[in-house]
Structures are given as C-alpha cells and as structure tokens.
Structure 1
Amino acid sequence: MSWHQGLLIGFDLETTGTDPRTSRIVTAAVIEVKEGRALGRREWLADPGVPIPAEAVAVHGITQERAATEGRPADQVADAIADVLAGYWQTGVPVVAYNAAFDLTLLSAELHRYGLPSLRSRLGDRDPAPVIDPYAIDRTVDRYRRGKRNLEAVCAEYGVALDTAHEAGADALAAARLARAIAVRHPKVAELAPAELHGRQIQWYAEWAADFQDFLRRKGDRAAFIDPIWPLRDLVDEAPGVV
C-alpha cells in the first residue's frame, strides 16, 4: 500500500509573523487523515507572550486579547505539539505540512526558547521524519506551471477543498488531502516509500535554493538568503541569539 493510502498527519501553525526563528505560535493543529477523511484532531490556542501584530491578526483572526484570555502558556503548547508529533514519527507515520521548513523551524525555535527538549532529542537523537511537504513536491513535479504556489492556489490546482484558509485546522487538513491528491496525479511520487520521499525533498529543496540564489545573483540582489536545509536540522541549536 502506498503512503498516500495510509494514515497521514496534517500539521499547521498560525503565528505572530513570517520569520520562523523569531515568530511565536498562536494556534496549531494536528489532524489525523486517512484517504481524505479526518479521523481525529488536536488543536491549541497559545498566549504567545508577545504582541500579535495587526497584520498577523488580519491573516488568522486571533487577537491579542483572545490569546491572552483563552490561550495556554506558550511553553506548554510548544511542548505538547512536539510530544504529539514525536509520537507519530516514532511509529513511522508521515507528518504532512505545507512549507514544512517554516512550521518545523518555528516549532524548533520555540522549544529552544523555553529550554524544552528538541524534536531530535524526543526521538532518541534521530531526525524528525518522515515529513511530507506538498509545497516542495508540487514545485518539483510541476516546475513550470505558472501562478502562485501558496496553499490556496495549489489546493485549487488539485481540486482540494480549503474552506477557511489560515485557520490551523483547515490548513492542516487541506495539506494532508493535498499530499494525497499530488500522489494520485503523480504515481512516481506515490511509489516512493515515506523515508525515500523525505530524502528526495531534502535534495529538491537544496537544488531549488541553489537555483534561486543564482537567480538573485544575476539580478544583483544580495539581500535574500535561502537556507538549503529542509525541513529541519534543529537550526536554533546553532543560533543561540534566538529570542
């Protein structure tokens, strides 16, 4: 049985900003999905301990007041999410996240910030894997398709319903359904074992990052930098300046 026919774990974070090393978790969702059907879910609302900028509120709708009143302490939320994800990885179940590099790096930064065990340490010093990222896969298997590559646009391309974009539960469910839809359309992706697909995505991301850097250099743009590691290498363990 191919991986897309088995259990998949959709994962998504909504946050205070767009920098995964400094932004904080506001909401999170982990959804169990099999053959497109949601079987169970866990959702969290955190008090991030810092102001939620107006531009972030405009995206996910969670105000500072609601987070402070209804949210759990941020360290408890990060710890709980990490434990849940590690539990799935320990049994070999793939975790699906759209643009996984963002969500997993941000979660890792939160764990580091609060002095909590890293994802690797929870897994006996193993990499958090397998991870399936529909963003990385779609960008590779349909490289020259024009148009946006955000979750809404790619869901529309594959006919996957996304009822409430930027709501963690809806995005997590859509990501898992999207991974399945991509595998159905591209059988060579479905044929890969989850561990092999995980490794291929690391390679694909590194190749894309190198190509993008070449593009920026040709334009004379030296400001942007894409870290070639996908989806996570506990980057914050090497960056003690995270606050």
Structure 2
Amino acid sequence: MSWHTSRMVGFDIESSGLDVEADRIVTACVVGCGGGEPVTSTTWLADPGITIPDEAAAVHGITTEQARAEGRPAADVVEEIVHAIAEAVDAGTPIVVMNAPYDLTLLDREARRYGITPLTDIVGDELRVIDPRVMDKAVDPYRKGRRTLTDLCSYYGLRLDAAHTADADALAACRVAWSLAEKWPQLRGTALDQLHTVQQQWAQQQATSYAAYLARTPGREHEAASVRTGWPFVPHQRRSA
C-alpha cells in the first residue's frame, strides 16, 4: 500500500506575518484524512499578544480585535498544536504541510517563546513530512507559473474553498499530496522514510537554485543570503549572550 492511500494529517498556520522568527500564530488546523476513515479536524484561534498587521488580516480575515475577543491564550494554543502533531507522528502518520519550513519553523519558534517543548524534541527523528510544494517542483520542474496552494489545486483539478483559512488549506494540502502521488509513479512508489529523505535533498537543491537566481538578478542580489535551505524546518540557532 502506498503512503498516499493511508492516513495523512494536514497542518496549516495562518499568522501575523512572514517572519518565522518574530511573527505569531493566529489560526491553525490539524486535519486527519484518508485511509478509509472519516475526516477529522481541530482548529485553533489564538490571541497572539501582538497587533495583527492589516496586511495579514486581509489575507486570513482575523483582526486584532477579533483575536483578542475570541482567541485563546497563545501558549495554550501552541502547546495543543504541538501535542496534536506529536500524537500523529507517534502513530506513524505523515504530516502534510505546504511549504513546511514556514509552518513547522514558526511552530518551533512559538513553542520556544512560551517555554513549551518543541515538536522536534518530542518526536526526534520519527517526524515524516510530505510537502506538496517541494514534490511538485521536483517532479515537474519546467512547468511555468506559480506554485502556491491555490495554483496547485487549480492545476490538479481540486476545489479550494475559503483559501487562506487554516482548515481549508490543511485539507487542500492533503488532497494535492494525494493527486501528486496519483499522477507521478515515482512518488507513490517511494516508501515514506525514503520520500522524507529525498524531499530534504530536493528542498536544498531548490533553495540553492533560488538563491543563485536572486544573486544574478539586478536589484535582488542582497536577498540571496537570506534564503535558507533547511527542510522540513529551519533549525533553531541559539543566540550568544
């Protein structure tokens, strides 16, 4: 049986911004699907403790006022998310995350911010991630166009209602992963452990290629140094005193 016909757990975060080192979780979802079982979904709304920029609110629809009025304490939310994913990993279930280094790194930094044991410290080397963005770029590298989750859903003929809401995006990521495996035999024919490892290699190659592109693009040369190659998350760098 291929990994894509077994149970998968999708994970998505909507946040206060794009800086994984400084921004905060606003909403998140962990959704279980496939494997012949019903879809299950847990969503969270956090009060991030900071002002949510208008640009971020325009994307996911959660304002500072709503987060403060309806959101739960951020530390509680982060701890529950970490435990939910850890339970899935402990059960041998792959975690599907579109652009994993963003969501998983942000979760890692949030856990450290609140003194919560980070996911990687709990599950160690047992974490197995499926990243549709990395896989799609690897198997179809010359296809033109963007590769956001919305773009991939359109390309693979999948519906994506309420894009940029955590629950919709988490489920859509699982559906794209399934579609990728259905279309590309080399994906569905690769064991999960090996697929996780090869995605690390693909992600590093893709990041290195992107950095090289930036380095030779007039006006963007300075951006090349900020491209990170870590996958499925960027390791935490301890700051010196």
TM-score relative to the length of structure 1: 0.93
**Corresponding residue for 2:31?**
31
**Corresponding residue for 1:158?**
156
Would the alpha carbon gap of residues 114 and 240 (structure 1) be closer, same or farther in structure 2, given more than 3 Å must change? farther
Highest RCO, 1 vs 2 (Cα 8 Å, sep ≥ 6): 1
Q: Is the 8 A contact 2:45 2:72 kept in 1?
A: yes
In structure 2, how many angstroms separate the alpha carbons of the residues matched to 1:120 and 1:61?
30
Q: How many residues get paired?
A: 237
- 1:77-92 maps to which residues of 2 (within 5 A)? 77-92=77-92
User: Given residue 229 of structure 2, which amino acid in structure 1 is its aligned partner?
Assistant: P
In structure 1, how many angstroms separate the alpha carbons of the residues matched to 2:157 and 2:94?
22
Residues 1:3 and 2:3 aligned together? yes
Residues 1:231 and 2:232 aligned together? yes
1:62-82: CA deviation from partner (whole Å, max 9, x where unpaired): 011111011110011111000
In structure 2, how many angstroms separate the alpha carbons of the residues matched to 1:153 and 1:207?
22
Would the alpha carbon gap of residues 162 and 36 (structure 1) be closer, same or farther in structure 2, given more than 3 Å must change? farther
In structure 1, how many angstroms separate the alpha carbons of the residues matched to 2:194 and 2:140?
19
Q: Is the 8 A contact 1:52 1:64 kept in 2?
A: yes
User: Given residue 193 of structure 1, which amino acid in structure 2 is its aligned partner?
Assistant: A
Structure 1 residue corresponding to 2:130, chosen from 122, 132, 136:
132
1:75-94: CA deviation from partner (whole Å, max 9, x where unpaired): 11111000010111112100
State the Cα distance separating 1:209 from its structure 2 match.
1.4
In structure 2, how many angstroms separate the alpha carbons of the residues matched to 1:49 and 1:38?
35
Q: Is the 8 A contact 1:14 1:168 kept in 2?
A: yes
State the Cα distance separating 1:127 from its structure 2 match.
3.2
Q: Is the 8 A contact 1:36 1:180 kept in 2?
A: no
Q: Is the 8 A contact 2:11 2:29 kept in 1?
A: yes
**Corresponding residue for 2:144?**
146
**Corresponding residue for 2:185?**
187
Structure 1 residue corresponding to 2:215, chosen from 206, 214, 217:
217
Gaps of 5+ in 1: none
% identical aligned pairs: 43
**Corresponding residue for 1:18?**
18
Would the alpha carbon gap of residues 36 and 66 (structure 1) be closer, same or farther in structure 2, given more than 3 Å must change? farther
State the Cα distance separating 1:37 from its structure 2 match.
7.6
SS in 1 for 2:43: strand
SS in 1 for 2:127: coil
Gaps of 5+ in 2: none
Q: Is the 8 A contact 1:9 1:176 kept in 2?
A: yes
The CA RMSD over aligned residues, in Å, is: 1.6
SS in 1 for 2:41: strand
In structure 1, how many angstroms separate the alpha carbons of the residues matched to 2:27 and 2:36?
23
State the Cα distance separating 1:219 from its structure 2 match.
2.6
Residues 1:96 and 2:85 aligned together? no
TM-score relative to the length of structure 2: 0.94
State the Cα distance separating 1:162 from its structure 2 match.
0.4
Runs of 4+ in 1 over 4 A off after TM superposition: 35-38
In structure 1, how many angstroms separate the alpha carbons of the residues matched to 2:130 and 2:139?
14
Q: Is the 8 A contact 2:215 2:223 kept in 1?
A: no
State the Cα distance separating 1:216 from its structure 2 match.
2.1
